């Protein structure tokens, strides 16, 4: 179909193409429509905002066959030799309304720890940082002034894991001795005696989401001893022991639907309900140890009611309400997704609430997969491997998108910026230590 556009007496022929706009889950935004081939992302953005009746104009990115559309439709069709006789499916994805500046410089090197830094975690409101070290201490840092706040002492061995409660009221740390300690971040003092129960070192900690329970009281810990335990910080004791794995539990996540997921060296992922601690599902498929688990909703679960606006809340009920709104908005109509990375070089994408069978198997890494991480908006998935690469995948379908090959050593960890636009990776080659600590006993803060 052609449209004649006249301007200053000249006739210009503009070809049209039949397009169908769909959301990331595949639901169409109205019927297919003819769009001029000179339409680009800017024009598509206006159309989507209009069709969705958005009062405030929101930013969107557009994808055709998992490739971002950055040029006019005509240019894309010509370059990729796409037939205009078929309906062109264009996926629109909402973007964060704020933008993180790319990392360009190290703004502070904060000394204090006397042994390697083994774990770090930002507070849900982004104002503080906690670090655990081989010197057996947990340290709290003020990110505005980039100075030390508190040194928390009490552990008898290396601090391997730390996790903030989503309401920011507590910080829990787990050590190589198998003990857990709850801290008051305001004072740096212990909130009661150490929590004992695990027989070997702690491998992971995850809090119950604030939209399920406010104020935050319960968290789950995983251990090399093969058990996961649910603790109550108000009762100051273990309230449930999740036994069933035959080897070490390597990772644990408390999902937004109220279920706990544990990954183990016994090659399985177990799904537990949290009122009685019963095993409700077992996810099988990996041929070697499960190293890492990630949830598509993880970012909103970790940050609870806090977002880029820095809003403060007067009551736990208000915080719970806002956190639930954020969670439901992020999740949409689709079920919560889980991804697992393994020593068998593969990853599986699951929808555990729907099925015990994987949605897809993701292959491509040439060595074990060390870490997997969903982007905050749940649309993307990144994986870090000992094959020195970071791979990017579609977070909904599990389709491979791209590989990043800048490192010359195994890649240990990855992290996303809050706007889902940047990935950071830390490697054995000692490059890009972004708030990840290291053997130099320093914390490095990087800013745009």
Give yes or no: residues 73 and 128 share one domain: no
Give yes or no: residues 185 and 244 share one domain: yes
* 394 within domain boundaries: no
* 211 within domain boundaries: yes
Q: CB–CB of 251/222 below 8 Å?
A: yes
408 versus 293: which is more confidently predicted?
A: 293
| Residue whose token pair is 């940050």 | 303
Instruction: Evaluate if residue 150 carries a pLDDT over 60.
Output: yes
Give yes or no: residues 263 and 213 share one domain: yes
- Of the candidates 247, 254, 291, which has an alpha carbon nearest to the alpha carbon of residue 272? 254
Instruction: Evaluate if residue 4 carries a pLDDT over 80.
Output: no
Mean pLDDT of 33-57: 90
Read off the pLDDT band of 313 (50, 70, 90): confident
Q: Of 94, 127, 142, which residue sits at a domain end?
A: 94
Q: Which domain holds residue 209?
A: 117-302
Domain count, the chain: 2
Q: What pLDDT is recorded for position 103?
A: 67
State the SS3 of 42-87: HHHHHHHHHHCCCCCCCCEEEEECCEECCCCHHHHHHHCCCCCCCC
405 versus 140: which is more confidently predicted?
A: 140
Among 289-303, 304-318, 425-439, which range has the highest average pLDDT? 289-303
299 φ/ψ angles, rounded to the nearest 5 degrees: -65, -45
- Of the candidates 233, 261, 126, which has an alpha carbon nearest to the alpha carbon of residue 171? 233
Q: CB–CB of 252/221 below 8 Å?
A: yes
Mean pLDDT of 375-381: 90
Three-state secondary-structure class, residue 320: helix
Mean pLDDT of 62-67: 86
Give yes or no: residues 215 and 71 share one domain: no
* 369 within domain boundaries: no
Q: CB–CB of 290/283 below 8 Å?
A: no
Per-residue pLDDT of 424-447, as tens digits, reads: 888 888 775 332 233 444 444 444
* 44 within domain boundaries: yes
Distance of alpha carbon 426 from alpha carbon 311, whole angstroms:
31
Distance of alpha carbon 390 from alpha carbon 294, whole angstroms:
16
Give yes or no: residues 173 and 88 share one domain: no
Give yes or no: residues 70 and 158 share one domain: no
Distance of alpha carbon 430 from alpha carbon 223, whole angstroms:
28
Instruction: Evaluate if residue 10 carries a pLDDT over 60.
Output: no
Q: How high is the mean pLDDT of the chain?
A: 88
Burial class (CB in 10 A: 0-12, 13-18, 19+), 6: exposed
Give yes or no: residues 220 and 128 share one domain: yes
Query: Parallel, antiparallel, or unpaired for β 88-94 and 60-64?
Result: antiparallel
Q: What pLDDT is recorded for position 422?
A: 81
* 316 within domain boundaries: no
CA distance readout (Å), 284 to 122, 267, 361? 33, 7, 12
Instruction: Evaluate if residue 88 carries a pLDDT over 80.
Output: yes
* 363 within domain boundaries: no
**CATH number of the domain within which 122 lies:** 2.130.10.10
Q: Which of 32-46, 83-97, 166-180, 328-342 has the lowest mean pLDDT?
A: 83-97
Mean pLDDT of 291-307: 93
377 φ/ψ angles, rounded to the nearest 5 degrees: -85, 0
Read off the tokens for 150.
Answer: 């508190």
Residues across the chain: 448
Per-residue pLDDT of 320-371, as tens digits, reads: 999 999 999 888 888 999 999 999 999 999 999 889 999 999 999 999 999 9
Distance of alpha carbon 281 from alpha carbon 263, whole angstroms:
12
Give yes or no: residues 182 and 226 share one domain: yes
Read off the pLDDT band of 57 (50, 70, 90): confident
Q: Of 24, 59, 94, which residue sits at a domain end?
A: 94
* 23 within domain boundaries: yes
pLDDT above 90 coverage of the chain, percent: 63
Q: Which residues pair with 402 in a beta bridge?
A: 392
- Of the candidates 215, 150, 145, which has an alpha carbon nearest to the alpha carbon of residue 187? 150
Q: What pLDDT is recorded for position 108?
A: 77
Per-residue pLDDT of 12-25, as tens digits, reads: 566 889 999 998 87
Give yes or no: residues 77 and 168 share one domain: no
What does the CA dihedral 381, 421, 147, 208 come to, rounded to 10 degrees? -40
Q: Which of 39-48, 76-85, 269-278, 439-448 has the lowest mean pLDDT?
A: 439-448
Q: Of 272, 302, 332, which residue sits at a domain end?
A: 302
CA distance readout (Å), 312 to 24, 164, 168, 343, 355? 32, 17, 11, 42, 38
Give yes or no: residues 149 and 270 share one domain: yes
Q: What pLDDT is recorded for position 235?
A: 93
Give yes or no: residues 136 and 245 share one domain: yes
Distance of alpha carbon 57 from alpha carbon 406, whole angstroms:
37
Q: Which of 114-128, 167-181, 414-428 has the lowest mean pLDDT?
A: 414-428
Instruction: Evaluate if residue 140 carries a pLDDT over 90.
Output: yes
Instruction: Evaluate if residue 9 carries a pLDDT over 80.
Output: no
**CATH number of the domain within which 72 lies:** 3.10.20.90
* 102 within domain boundaries: no
Instruction: Evaluate if residue 152 carries a pLDDT over 50.
Output: yes
Query: Parallel, antiparallel, or unpaired for β 10-22 and 67-68?
Result: unpaired
């Amino acid at each position: 179909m052609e449209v004649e556009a006249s301007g200053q007496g000249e006739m210009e022929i503009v070809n049209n193409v039949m397009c169908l706009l769909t959301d990331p889950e595949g639901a169409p935004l109205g019927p297919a429509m003819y769009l001029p081939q000179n339409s680009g992302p800017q024009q598509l953005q206006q159309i989507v905002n209009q069709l969705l009746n958005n009062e405030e104009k929101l930013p969107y990115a557009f994808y055709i066959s998992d490739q971002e559309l950055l040029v006019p439709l005509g240019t894309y069709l010509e370059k990729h030799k796409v037939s205009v006789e078929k309906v062109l499916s264009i996926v629109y994805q909402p973007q964060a309304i704020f933008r993180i500046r790319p990392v360009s410089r190290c703004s502070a090197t904060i000394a204090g720890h006397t042994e390697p830094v083994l774990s770090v975690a930002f507070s849900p409101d982004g104002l503080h940082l906690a670090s655990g070290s081989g010197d057996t201490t947990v340290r709290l840092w003020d990110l505005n002034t980039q100075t030390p706040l508190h040194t928390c002492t009490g552990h008898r061995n290396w601090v391997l894991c730390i996790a903030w409660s989503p309401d920011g009221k507590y910080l829990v740390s787990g050590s190589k001795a198998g003990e857990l300690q709850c801290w008051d971040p305001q004072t740096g003092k212990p909130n009661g005696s150490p929590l004992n129960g695990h027989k070997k070192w702690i491998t992971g900690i995850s809090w119950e989401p604030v939209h399920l329970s406010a104020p935050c009281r319960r968290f789950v810990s995983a251990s090399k001893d093969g058990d996961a335990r649910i603790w109550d910080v108000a009762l100051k004791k273990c309230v449930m022991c999740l036994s069933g794995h035959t080897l070490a539990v390597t990772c644990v996540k408390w999902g937004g639907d109220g279920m706990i997921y544990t990954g183990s060296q016994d090659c399985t992922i177990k799904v537990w309900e949290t009122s009685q601690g019963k095993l409700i599902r077992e996810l099988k498929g990996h041929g070697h140890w499960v190293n890492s688990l990630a949830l598509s909703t993880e970012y909103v679960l970790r940050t609870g009611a806090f977002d880029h606006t820095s809003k403060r809340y007067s009551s736990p009920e208000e915080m719970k309400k806002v956190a639930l709104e954020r969670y439901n908005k992020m999740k949409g109509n689709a079920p919560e997704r889980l991804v697992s990375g393994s020593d068998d070089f593969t990853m599986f994408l699951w929808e555990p609430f729907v099925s015990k069978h994987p949605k897809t198997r993701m292959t491509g890494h040439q060595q074990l997969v060390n870490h997997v991480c969903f982007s905050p908006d749940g649309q993307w998935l990144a994986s870090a491997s000992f094959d020195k690469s970071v791979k990017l995948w579609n977070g909904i379908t599990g389709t491979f998108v791209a590989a990043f090959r800048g490192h010359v050593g195994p890649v240990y960890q990855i992290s996303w910026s809050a706007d889902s636009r940047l990935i950071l990776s830390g490697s054995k080659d000692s490059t890009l230590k972004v708030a990840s600590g290291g053997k130099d006993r320093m914390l490095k803060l990087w800013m745009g």
